[in-house]
């Protein structure tokens, strides 16, 4: 079950619009960004090793009969550990949009989080719900925020960890305009990319485990030999 599907189960009052966005937003697991030096989210992650990708998926809300589109990006550590994700959710014909933000669970909930484009104004957001691996916040936004994203360089998420220290996650805005204004991605292609990404993340996690064992003076357990 995806994190968006969990949101629907916990927040049924938001209706089928959120459910449609949840089903469409597989893009959040396909961000492709991998931070170089962010094995733990206690400090701000370094620049991404791979170019992050904004992905767009669309579908129709079965109740409202309106198109819903989600444009999303996710960043992960070199080990494959989740760091943060952002998604713009838009219903065709509605002026107000929603910025969905995910961060790791080891954060202080009461202060909430803040989102900032470059050196612009910080916009506060309150956590709505937490899952075992991440916490979720929603921020209502308008066309002015979308315009700022199109013109901006970076989008920063700032929150507090358990020691009340500030933690920042930075996502590039490169490619946002092209994805936002362009055609949505085919869902079958998206699912195929998701499978490839999961394989890559598993490989990165295993490589990181081996490096950690080597640094500690140990050695990875040998692969089991087939029985004769």
pLDDT at 218: 61
Q: What is the pLDDT of residue 21?
A: 38
Rounded-to-integer distance, Cα 51 and Cα 100, Å: 21
The total number of structural domains that make up the chain: 1
CA 49/CA 109 separation, integer angstroms: 30
Question: Quick check: is 224 in a domain?
Answer: no
pLDDT computed for residue 58 by the predictor: 85
For residue 202, is it within any domain?
A: yes
- pLDDT confidence of residue 49: 39
In a domain, 226, yes or no: no
- CATH code, domain carrying 17: 2.60.40.1880
- Predicted pLDDT at 119: 93
SS (H, E, C) 99-167: EEEEECCCECCCCCEEEEECCCCCEEECEEEECCCCEEEEEEECHHHHHHHHHCCEEEEEEEECCCCEE
Structural domain contains residue 121: yes
- The pLDDT of residue 222 is 55
Q: What is the pLDDT of residue 146?
A: 95
pTM comes to: 0.67
In a domain, 225, yes or no: no
Name the stretches of the chain with pLDDT < 50. 1-51
What's the confidence (pLDDT) of residue 175?
A: 93
Q: Which helix (H) or strand (E) holds 170?
A: strand 166-172
Q: What is the pLDDT of residue 63?
A: 74
Which residues span the domain enclosing 147? 3-210
Residue 216 lies in a domain: no
Distance, CA of 30 to CA of 18 (rounded, Å): 19
Residue 1's pLDDT is 40
Q: What is the pLDDT of residues 99-110, one digit of tens each?
A: 999 999 888 888
């Amino acid at each position: 079950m995806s994190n968006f599907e969990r949101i629907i189960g916990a927040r049924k009052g938001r209706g089928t619009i959120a459910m449609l966005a949840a089903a469409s937003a597989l893009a959040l697991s396909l961000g492709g960004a991998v931070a170089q030096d962010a094995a733990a989210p206690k400090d701000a992650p370094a620049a991404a090793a791979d170019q992050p990708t904004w992905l767009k998926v669309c579908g129709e809300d079965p109740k409202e009969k309106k198109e819903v589109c989600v444009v999303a990006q996710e960043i992960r550590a070199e080990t494959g550990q989740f760091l943060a994700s952002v998604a713009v959710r838009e219903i065709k014909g509605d002026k107000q949009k929603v910025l969905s933000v995910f961060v790791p669970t080891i954060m202080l909930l009461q202060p909430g989080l803040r989102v900032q484009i470059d050196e612009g104004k910080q916009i506060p957001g309150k956590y709505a719900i937490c899952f075992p691996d991440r916490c979720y916040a929603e921020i209502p936004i308008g066309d002015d925020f979308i315009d700022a994203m199109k013109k901006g360089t970076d989008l920063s998420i700032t929150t507090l960890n358990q020691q009340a220290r500030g933690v920042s996650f930075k996502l590039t805005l490169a490619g946002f305009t092209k994805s936002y204004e362009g055609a949505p991605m085919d869902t079958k292609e998206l699912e195929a990319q998701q499978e490839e990404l999961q394989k890559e993340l598993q490989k990165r996690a295993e490589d990181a485990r081996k490096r950690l064992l080597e640094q500690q003076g140990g050695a990875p357990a040998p692969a089991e030999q087939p029985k004769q």
